[in-house]
Amino acid sequence: MEDTTGSNPQSLGFTEKLKSWLSWSWTYICFIWFGMVLIMIYVLWSPLKLQETRKYMIAYSRLFQIFEWWYFRKYGTSFIEQVSVSHLRPLLGGVESSSTTGLFSSVNGETEPRPSVSECKVWRNPLNLFRGAEYSRYTWVTGKEPLTYYDMNLSAQDHQTFFTGDTQQLRPEDAVMQKAWRERNPQARIRAAYQAIEMNHECAAAYVLLAEEEATTITEAERLFKQALRIGKNGLKYNTGKDINLLVYIKRRLAMCARKLGRIKEAVKMMRDLMKEFPLLGMLNIHENLLEALLELQAYADVQAVLAKYDDISLPKSATICYTSALLKARAVSDKFSPEAASRRGLSTAEMNAVEAIHRAVEFNPHVPKYLLEMKSLILPPEHILKRGDSEAVAYAFFHLQHWKRAEGALNLLHCTWEGTFRIIPYPLEKGHLFYPYPGCTETADRELLPSFHEVSVYPKKELPFFILFTAGLCSFTAMLAMLTHQFPELMGVFAKAFFSTLFAPLGFFADKMESFMPSSFWHQLTRI
Strand partners, 105: 111
- Per-residue pLDDT at 320: 95
Rg over alpha carbons for the chain, rounded to the nearest Å, is: 32
Distance between CA atoms of residues 99 and 237, nearest Å: 39
Average pLDDT over residues 396-413: 94
Average pLDDT of span 444-448: 90
Say what the pLDDT of residue 14 is. 64
Residue, of 46 and 267, whose pLDDT is higher: 267
> 120 pLDDT exceeds 80?
no
Inform me whether the pLDDT recorded for 106 exceeds 50: no
Per residue in 59-103, pLDDT tens?
665 566 676 666 665 555 556 555 555 554 444 444 333 333 333
What's the rounded mean pLDDT across residues 315-321?
89
**Alpha carbon distance, N-terminus to C-terminus of the chain:** 61
Give the least confident one: 34-38, 53-57, 355-359, 456-460: 53-57
Per-residue model confidence (pLDDT) at position 26: 52
- pLDDT tier at 460, thresholds 50, 70, 90: confident
| Angle in degrees, 0-180, between the axes of helices 390-406 and 286-297, rounded to the nearest 10 | 20
Give yes or no for a contact between 290 and 262, defined as CB atoms under 8 angstroms apart: no
pLDDT for residue 189 is more than 70: yes
What's the angle, vertex CA 455, arms to CA 452 and CA 459, rounded to 5?
125
Contacts made by residues 274-280, CB under 8 angstroms, sequence distance 24+: 274/248, 278/244, 278/248
The lowest-confidence range among 11-25, 80-94, 157-171, 364-378 is 80-94
DSSP string computed for 367-386: THHHHHTTSS---PPPSEEE
State the pLDDT at residue 314: 75
| The length of the chain, given as a count of residues | 529
pLDDT band per the 50, 70, 90 thresholds, residue 420: confident
Per-residue confidence at 181, pLDDT binned at 50, 70, 90? confident
| Segment 190-202 mean pLDDT | 90
Does the pLDDT value for residue 107 go beyond 70? no
- Mean of the per-residue pLDDT values of the chain: 78
Per-residue pLDDT, 103: 31
Out of 25-34, 84-93, 129-138, 513-522, which region has the weakest mean confidence (pLDDT)? 84-93
Of 51 and 131, more confident:
131
- Kindly tell me if the per-residue pLDDT of 265 is higher than 70: yes
pLDDT score of 47: 45
Q: Which of 56, 193, 127 is nearest to 394 (CA)?
A: 127
**Distance between CA atoms of 28 and 86, rounded to whole angstroms?**
12
Mean pLDDT of 416-430: 84
Three-class SS of residue 165? coil
Predicted local distance difference test score (pLDDT) of residue 431: 80
Q: Give the whole-angstrom CA distance, residue 127 versus residue 384.
A: 10
Q: Does pLDDT of 465 surpass 50?
A: yes
Q: Rounded to the nearest 5°, which phi and psi values hold at 385?
A: -130, 155
The percentage of the chain sitting over the pLDDT mark of 90, rounded to a whole number, equals 39
Predicted local distance difference test score (pLDDT) of residue 101: 36
Query: Which is more confident, 333 or 15?
Result: 333
Q: Which domains does the chain have, with CATH numbers?
A: 147-284 (1.25.40.10)
Dihedral through CA 500, CA 504, CA 505, CA 510, nearest 10? -170
- Give me the amino acid identity at 255: A
Q: Check pLDDT > 70 for residue 117.
A: no
